[in-house]
Amino acid sequence: MTVNLDAAYWLGLIISVALPVLVGLVTTRVTHAGVKAVLLLALSTGNGFLVEFANPGPGYDAGTAAVLALVSFGTGVLSHFGLWKPTGIAGVAQDSLVTARGRS
């Protein structure tokens, strides 16, 4: 049995690990965790469907794209809680790009 993983799958995996940092860049610390989770889910879904589209296989399979989206979301959640949050990178991302503006 030979396993052949194309570059699209590896790129999708790398993007899945980086998605929580992207969510942190476009949200603030006061953004509700549910909003962040939905944003991560939307980006993961897009990543899964784009990886399947970019795969140079015989054709597009929506079932495979859905599985890739779920794997991308799971990888993003695990990398957030297992890698980005404990190292402090999640907090730095939250503070770097978007700031909450008070009412004038």
Domain ranges of the chain: 14-96
Greater pLDDT, 16 or 95: 16
pTM of the entire predicted model: 0.81
> 30: which DSSP letter?
T
Give the pLDDT of residue 29: 82
Say which amino acid occupies 96: S
Q: How confident is the model at residue 1 (pLDDT cuts 50, 70, 90)?
A: very low
What number is the average pLDDT over the span 17-35?
89
**Percentage helix, strand, coil for the chain under 3-state DSSP, each rounded to 5:** 75, 0, 25
